[in-house]
Structures are given as structure tokens and as C-alpha cells.
Amino acid sequence: MNPLDIDTIAAFSTPPGESGLAVFRISGPQAGAICDRLFKPYGSHFPIPSRMEGYTMAPGIWDGIDEVILACFKAPHSYTGEDVYEVSCHGGPAVRQAVMESALRAGARSAGPGEFSRRAFINGKMDLSRAEAVMDLIGAQAEKQAEVAFRQLQGGISRTVRRRVDQLYGAMAHLEMLLDWDEEEERPKDRETLIQELEEAKTDLQKLLDSFVSGRVIREGLHVVIAGSPNVGKSSILNALAGRDRAIVSPIAGTTRDTIEIDLVLDGYLIHLTDTAGLAHESHDPIEQEGILRAETALEEADLILWVLSPPLLPVEARAVEEKRIDLLALEGKSLLLVLGKDDLRSELKKHEDPLIYQEERFPHLPYLTWSQKQEEDLDRLKKTLISFIRQGDLEADTALVEDTKSHEILTHARHKAAIERAVSLVNKTITDLKERLSFDLVAITLKEALTELTAITGDDVSETLIEEIFNRFCIGK
């Protein structure tokens, strides 16, 4: 595109409100000329690339309103690959408005969401998965989220995917060589070698897919829901994990009537924790019924359910209803941890009232944890179990033995996962077609489709609509 056809965009990179400083960015061919009109240097010259210089705002309506620092990054050595000017001004509403209005008046256009990053992508400064990582890094609330985003930003996923793409291109080259030969010249060994190459690529892609379970949880946070009958100690568990009295706790059954959601960070991992209204087995109170409905919705969205069973155990009829509910959740493939609560009362209980014996008899297949809010080590154990679940998808793994997120590449985006899944299924089809002795030109078409899926992850081969969709999710000023 002719550089004269590209307009110059401007936006604040810092959020609205009062702050010590605010950062304003201008990118495009006219960025220098616009700044020339807007700011008067303290010294005699315009900024030297990549050096901070002091300015006042130039005469005009906003004359004398602020002193700013300008940093200039000349194309192509900038975030967007264009000329970029970064203005640090004071971060109040009037100054922000002054800077923005002056820039627009001087010929800049207000940048849309993600437009700076979109330009960086178009100018080859970063690929699509790295651009997505920029957003993840900005949105990261917990250390591990930031860690995986930063690794993606450094090109971790791009490199892994490109290695797999090269692998498939290798197979493609092999296939094209065979295509040029006569059918009679084909040896069975050629097909076998090709199948082997494709099998290797498939295994590597599958390995990457397997990392998505923990990758998604790290990126989005783990949704943990505390559920069970009324008065079993659910809210007390939420408060213990939160380290503060967030939910009301009382000996009256039905204290929690609505779902209570909090975010907490454990060992750098983000957890969305939800306390629910006790699942009363018979209720005619419309508010309680609504609470139970909300609890059921939370259960549907949970990655992990802490089902609390505490003494006294329920009467037989209600117990059967609860057991059915737990069985159903397990059948649906939900991850369940039975929390055998009020463990401090166990020594006073008769055998038929003991939750531990009950669990062994009725739910021997489900993982469990004994819990008392009066035993400090129980909180530690519960936290460790949650961390091991995030890292390994396993409630009983030893956290000391579990690999850390740094040790291998992790897939965190649903978009990447879906593309790899499609690629795996296409590679599979290629293998089957080769085994069924389909002609090489047909096999090549399927393999090409698999390659297209993978290159869409890095954006090497991607539709305009997808680019639009991805960058529209960005914030303004990035």
C-alpha cells in the first residue's frame, strides 16, 4: 500500500481517570508532522529517535496547558513498524482532552480497538498469536497468566506451530515429488515413509492439544464451585480460602441464598471461586428455589466442584436425592472433590454418622479430602489440591512432582486449539487416504488443508474476517 494512503492514528494507551501520567501514542506517516505542530521543543531540535525529550504544548487553544515528554520511534523500529510518537503528559481529564483534540485537529484519526497492534501485524512486526498474547498479558491478573502470555509473546507457540508446519511441508514436498513420477515407478516404501512422517507430525500436534486443558485454566482461571446441602460449611470454606469473611456464616440452614463469587490467586494461578445456596431437597420458599437454580447454573459452568458432606449426615430419603445428584455430575464427566467437612467433630460421631465411612461405602471411586476450619493444615492441603488440579488436571498428584508451566509449550487459546484439532483430523485423513492407496493428488489436497489450518494460528495465512474479529477484541490504544 502506498504510505500516503495510510492515515495516522492516535489514542491514549492509558485508561481514563486521574493518574500521575498518561501515555498518548501517534502512529503513521504524519506522526512527526503532527507532533511538530502540537509541541514546542524546550531545546532547538525535534526528538532524536528513541530518546525522551521535554516539550510544552504549542500555541493554540491549549497553549501553556502542560509540559510533556516526547519519545520518537522511527519506522520500522517501532511497535507498529510505522513512525510512532509517544507523548507522556499529566494524566488528568482536561490535559487528556487537550492532547487528543489537538492531535485530531492536526490531522490524526482516533484509533479503533487494537489498531496499533493490527498495524504491527500487517507490517510484519508480530504474528497473530503474538498479538493475541499482548492482550493476554494486559488482561493477566495472576502471575501464571502473565507467564504463559509472555512466553507466547516471545514466540513460544509460534515456534512450535511453525516446526509442525515445516514437518508437514516436508511431507508435502515428498508427496509432490511422487506426484511427478509415473504410477508404475511408485514403490510401496514411498507410501510407508510418507505415512511415518505424517504419524510423527500428528503425535506432536496431539501433544500440544493435550496441554490445552491446563492451558485454558491458566489463561482463563479455574472455576471452582462449592456445593452441597444447607449448613454443611460451604461458606466457611469460601471464607477460609479467601482469607476474609466474605460470606455470612451461621448455624441457621439456608444462610446463603444467592451465589457468591470471588477471585483469588493461589501460587500464581487465578481461581474463580463460587459459594452456592445449600441444595435443600425440598423447598417451597421462592427465594430459596431461585438460589438453588443459580447454584445449578454455577455447577454447569464449573471446572471443579467441591461437594461438601458434613455431619450430621442427611436423613435417608434426602441422602438418596443427594447421592443421585453426585452420581449424575460424575457421569457427566464433571471433576468432583468430596470435602468431608467438620472433621473436628468426627471423634464424637458414631460409625453410621461418620462421613469418612459413608464416603468409603458409597463413593469409593471419588477423590476426597477431610476438612475442618479448625485445623490449619487442612487449608494448606485444600490449596495444594487445587494447585495440583490446575497444573495436572489431577486432584491427587503430588505438586512437588508436577511439571511447571515453564517446562513445555502450553496451548491456552480456544482458537489455536480448534485449528490444531482440525489439522490433526485432516492429517489423519491424509494417512487413511494414503493407506487406502488414494491418488497422490487427492492426498495432497487434504494435506494442504491441514497446513492452512496451522498457518492461520500464526496468521501467515488468514482471512480478513478473522483478523477483524481478533483485533476488535483489543482495547483502544493497544
Ligand X SMILES: Nc1nc2c(ncn2[C@@H]2O[C@H](COP(=O)(O)OP(=O)(O)OP(=O)(O)O)[C@@H](O)[C@H]2O)c(=O)[nH]1
Segment 207 to 236, residues that bind ligand X, using CB under 6 A: 230-236
235 interacts with Mg ion by CB under 5 A = yes
| 129, 256, 385, 405: residue in contact with Mg ion (rule CB under 5 A) | 256
What is the H or E stretch that residue 304 is in?
strand 304-309
For ligand X, the binding residues in 84-143 under the rule CB under 6 A are none
Q: What are the grid coordinates assigned to 313, written together?
A: 449426615
* Contact between residue 404 and residue 267 where contact means Cβ atoms under 8 Å apart: no
* Ordered strands of the 19-27 beta sheet: 39-41, 52-57, 67-73, 84-91, 19-27, 9-12, 109-110
Question: Please, which of residues 361-420 interact with ligand X by CB under 6 A?
Answer: 372-374
Instruction: From 27-35, 119-127, 250-258, 429-437, give the range in contact with ligand X by CB under 6 A.
Output: 250-258
CB of 205 to ligand X, least distance (A): 45
Distance CA(78)–CA(85), nearest Å, equals 9
State the DSSP H helix or E strand holding residue 238, giving kind and residue range, or none if neither: helix 234-242
Between CA 210 and CA 411 the distance in angstroms is 8
Which listed option, ligand X, Mg ion, none, makes contact with residue 236 (CB within 5 to 8 Å by class)? ligand X
206 or 375: CB nearest ligand X: 375
The burial of 22, by beta-carbon neighbours within 10 Å (0-12 exposed, 13-18 middle, 19 or more buried), is given as: buried
Report CA Rg, the chain. 29
Interaction between residue 179 and ligand X (CB under 6 A): no
Say which entry of Mg ion, ligand X, none residue 344 contacts (CB below 5 to 8 A, set by partner kind): ligand X
| Euclidean distance between CA atoms 296 and 334, whole angstroms | 13
Q: Does 274 bind ligand X (CB under 6 A)?
A: no
Single out the segment in contact with Mg ion by CB under 5 A; choices: 70-78, 98-106, 228-236, 323-331. 228-236
Q: Measured from the CB of residue 311, what is the shortest distance to ligand X in angstroms? A: 9
Selected range binding ligand X among 12-20, 175-183, 249-257, 429-437, rule: CB under 6 A: 249-257
Grid cell, residue 250, equals: 451461621
Q: Binding partner of residue 342 among ligand X, Mg ion, none, CB under 5 to 8 Å per kind?
A: ligand X
Which of 231, 405 has the CB closer to ligand X? 231
Give the C-alpha distances (Å, rounded to integers) separating 192 from 145, 197, 381, 435.
42, 9, 51, 8
Q: Which one of 252-260, 321-329, 330-338, 362-370 is the stretch in contact with ligand X (CB under 6 A)?
A: 252-260
Q: Which does 152 bind (CB under 5 to 8 A by kind): Mg ion, ligand X, none?
A: none
Mask for 334-363, x = binds ligand X (CB under 6 A): -------xx-xx------------------
Q: Where are the beta strands (DSSP E) in 100-160?
A: 109-110
At 119, phi and psi to the nearest 5? -65, -40
Q: Which three cell numbers stand for residue 376?
A: 490449619
Torsion over CA of 223, 229, 230 and 232, rounded to 10 degrees? -80
From 204-212, 252-260, 382-390, 393-401, span contacting Mg ion (CB under 5 A): 252-260
Nearer to ligand X, 215 or 311 (CB): 311
CA gap 395, 385 in Å, rounded: 6
Q: Contact positions toward ligand X, by CB under 6 A?
A: 230-236, 249-251, 253-256, 278, 341-342, 344-345, 372-374
